[in-house]
Every structure is written in C-alpha cells, then in structure tokens.
Amino acid sequence: MAKEIQLKYGCNPNQKPSRIFMEEGELPVTVLNGRPGYINFMDALNSWQLGKELKAATGLPSAASFKHVSPAGAAVGVELTETERRIYFTGDKPLSPIASAYARARGADRMSSYGDFAALSDICDEDTAMLLKKEVSDGVIAPGYTEGALEILKTKKNGNYNVIQIDPEYVPAEIERKQVFGITFEQGRNNIVLDESVLTNIVTKNHDLPDSAKRDLVIALITLKYTQSNSVAYAKNGQVIGVGAGQQSRVHCTRLAGDKADHWWLRQAPQVLNLPFKETIRRADRDNCIDVYIGNEYMDVLRDGTWENFFTEKPAVFTEAEKRAWLDQNTGVSLASDAFFPFGDNIERAYKSGVSFVVEPGGSIRDDNVIETCDRYNMVMAFNGIRLFHH
C-alpha cells in the first residue's frame, strides 16, 4: 500500500492538484482499477464505514449506495422477494447475500443512486459484480474481490471503473482533522456504537417494539451517522427506503425522506409493475419513466403523445386516489432522526408514509407534543439521547 494517491482532480476539474495521503504510515486503500477523484474517495470512505458498522450491528452482509457524501440507500443482505427482484431489475436468479444487500441499497432510491459509489462490507463476488456492471455507477469499495468479480468490473466504463480495496482491519486515529478556508478543525472521531441498547428508553404509551423494528431502527440510525445533516431516514425490512439529507429544516428532511419512501412503495403497486415497457428501453430510462408515471407529469406525457416512445400501449393514469389507497397498505415502517424533532408535524408527516416506530434523541422543549402525536397514532417512540450530526 502507498503513502499517498494522486487523484483525478478535486471537487471540480479545475481544482488540481489533488491527492489523499497519510501523515504517518501507509494508506489502508489500494486502487485496483480506474482513477478515482476527490468526491469518489469521500463517498468511498464514508460509505465503507456505514457498511462496516451495519454488519457489526446486525451480523449480516451489508451495503451502501452513496452520492455526494450522503447515502441514497443502505441495506443488509436479506433475500429479495419476487416483487423486489422486479423493481430492482435483478432477474429471477437467486443472489448471494452481499449482492442482495447491494441490490436493496441501490433500489431504495434508484433515481438518486444513478452514478453512485457502492460500498460492500464483504468480499465482492461475481453476483455483485454483475449487478454493478449493469448499473450506472462510478465505483465500488470492498475488503476484497474474487478473481471473477474483478475481471467483470475491469470491463466496466471502457476499463475505467473505479475499484478500491480497503484493509478491513484499519482503525483510524482517535483525533480527526480537516481544513476549511485554510483553518484546521480538530475533533474526536464519532466512535459511538449504535445497537439495540440505544432503544430502551421508550417514552410512548405503546411499548411493543418487535425485533424486526429494532433492526430497522438501528439500520436507520447508523445510516444517519454518515448522512449530511440535518437528516432523517425511513427503513423497512432491513433496508433504508428514504433518506432526507442536508436540509436546514427538519420537517423538510422528514417530507423529503417520506416522499422517497412513498416512491419506493409505489414502485411495487400493480399499476407500476405491469407497465408495458418496450423491450428496447434501458433500465435508467425505465426508472425515469416510472418516476414520471408516479408523479403528476404523466398527464402531460399523455397529452403530448410521448408515451409512445416508451410503452407498447398507453398505460392508464395512476390516480391520486389509487396511490393513496396503495400507500395506506404500507405499515410497520421505522423512522430515525439525527437530532430531536422540534414539533409534532414531523410525526404527522411520517404517519402518512406508514411509520409505526420512531427513534430520536429527545430534548426538545416540545417533547410532550411529539410524544402526544405518536400516541395519537399508536406509534412506539424511543429517546436515545444521541445526536448524530455529520458534516
């Protein structure tokens, strides 16, 4: 391993030279293929930490899909359902656990994951490499690669796909530093361990917190640890289904993440699963079409006739009443926040997206209002007393 790696460029192409380096010792990463840039490595190193912590917390192979230093999705390696195989475009063949984890992380928000950086907690196998090969992605970081997987990945992007290997035993220094405007900032690393032990302080009337919800709340919390603040995450069935990142207002985080969670659920509606796509339509274009179909823009597509470019026949409109009826079937969703909810409006919005379980730090002067709102909807909420800002 090297002491430094020269990067393609910094945040923007005009920002040269650019490098990553160690002041002491050697870098824990090796570039096996491609030439990563500054943002690629920012995404790679943040997403690797997320995936590693998810596996430590759950014992399951884990993956993350990162864009611009925040996760678009994160998941553990639970076997895909038939519906998930369809909406994630994985085909009928069963996948390995680590491939399943990445398919679910990528599938949480396929629009945002377009051009992502993938992180894998386990060795990248051929199943995962084939998934990555078919997707628009900038790179992947993992503790290792099978020979077959590496051969597949080296053919991607005309041989320029970024493949990074990281030493899974690497432990960073306790103090971290960065510069802003020529001034050095220093702080202790956020080494807090997030597991089910942080969910014991239940403050609502309903105390029924099943193991599946505990797992999902922990997954959401660990995801927030590596999400640009303010941030809120929705999770279900071992995967994040909506992330609201980097918003100045917390309720805007809750709305943004809730809209993404709704979109994830609406993709599973029969009206969407049965869209009559032409065989020649690529998966990225299918994602765009689905986004338009689910949104109100589809009426414009019908009016100007451009539906003929994508479908073999004209799909019926997915009405607002039909959408609401389908969304009402989504229940048992978990919600985590990286800081306290200042008002009950966050809970009101979360309820519309099927949230039944909540974890947040608590500590607002209006905690009573937030608790009261949870009680109104028979939600379970835990105060963990932990703020998870990440900048």
Question: Which residues are part of the catalytic machinery?
Answer: 67-68, 230, 391
Question: Computed from CA positions of residues 29, 30, 32, 36, in that sequence, does the dihedral angle turn out positive or negative?
Answer: positive
> 29 near 3, Cβ under 8 Å?
no
> DSSP secondary-structure letter at 257?
H
Locus of tokens 């570039």: 31
**Which residues lie below 8 Å from residue 332, measured CB to CB, with a gap of 6+?**
212, 213, 236, 354, 356, 357
> 294 near 272, Cβ under 8 Å?
yes
**Which residues lie below 8 Å from residue 352, measured CB to CB, with a gap of 6+?**
258, 262, 327
Rounded Cα distance between 19 and 36, Å, is 10
**Which residues lie below 8 Å from residue 13, measured CB to CB, with a gap of 6+?**
none
**Which residues lie below 8 Å from residue 52, measured CB to CB, with a gap of 6+?**
62, 121, 168
Rounded Cα distance between 347 and 258, Å, is 11
Closest CA to 367 of 389, 386, 383, 355: 383
> 128 near 149, Cβ under 8 Å?
yes
Q: Residue 267 to residues 89, 116, 117, 313, 368: CA-CA distances in angstroms?
A: 12, 20, 23, 19, 36
Closest CA to 374 of 389, 388, 391, 355: 355
Rounded Cα distance between 13 and 36, Å, is 12
- Could you list the beta-strand ranges (E) of the chain: 4-6, 19-21, 29-33, 62-67, 70-76, 116-120, 137-142, 162-166, 175-180, 183-188, 231-236, 239-245, 333-337, 355-360, 380-383
